[in-house]
Chains A and B, each alone.
Chain A
């Protein structure tokens, strides 16, 4: 097994997956909900050298507010 957790937890073979979307779908199906974006950050992780703060946008809500 190449994975430490995923294959064992979901009974799948990582070689059958070609994209992150396929992986997300398996996890979402098992969780019964969509995966949410989290802002878990830790000092060890460097996000590609990005020094800017991340902002969270709810695009749908933003558009609804603008158009109604």
Chain B
């Protein structure tokens, strides 16, 4: 059974930070989150409306509001983790990006990547173990994992990435430029001859 003060602590201590991180990082609001917000505050209003007349039903609604809030916080953390994880994967999967666009040595990045994934698996394990119970342990673990992921992304250097992209284009032109040019010229000549032959 949750008390009203516990609900308030959860709202200010866990929900607002989790919500602010997610919305600030996405720079948009995930629509699905609003369903849980609606459910949470709908139960809370029932609690506030009937708490003197029907304390049992009021408590039941407060518990439901608390549980919705827990799920909402968990969703915020998981959602942010997914976004961060996708960005890290993009770097990890590309050998050259991993080598040239990160400000830490590659072996450190790889070690952190494995720590990040292991921590996420641990969070997921905690979450599934705590189904129907308090998810605060899983929430803390997801938070810890995302923190590690954001620290990894903080080492990503956009300026190096710009140079890397430029270098890739130059390299492509150097390697295949002549072939593209010759192919283009031959294609042009053949197209002209074909047009003439067909009288177009």
Contacts and interface: CB of A to CB of B under 8 A. Distances in A.
B35 A14 contact: no
Contacts of B193: none
Interface residues of chain B: helix, strand, loop or mixed (majority): helix
Contacts of A44: 78-79, 81-82, 124
A6 B79 contact: no
Interface size range of chain B in the complex: 35 or more
Interface in A12-27: 14-15, 17-18, 20, 23-24, 27
Contact of A46 (B23, B31, B71, B80): B71
A59 interface: no
B29 interface: yes
Interface in B79-122: 79-83
Interface centre among B29, B37, B71, B75 (most CB of A within 10 A): B29
Contact of A5 (B21, B78, B81): B21
Contacts of A45: 32, 75, 78-79, 82
B137 interface: no
B17 A37 contact: no
Contacts of B68: 48
Given A3-B20, A4-B143, A4-B146, A48 B28 contact: no
Interface in B130-157: 143, 146-147, 150
A62 interface: no
B63 interface: no
A42 B23 CA distance: 16
A56 interface: yes
Given A2-B17, A54-B31, A27 B39 contact: no
Contacts of B29: 24, 35-38
Interface string B51-94: 00000000000000000100110010011111100000000000
A48 B39 CA distance: 8
A6 B21 contact: yes
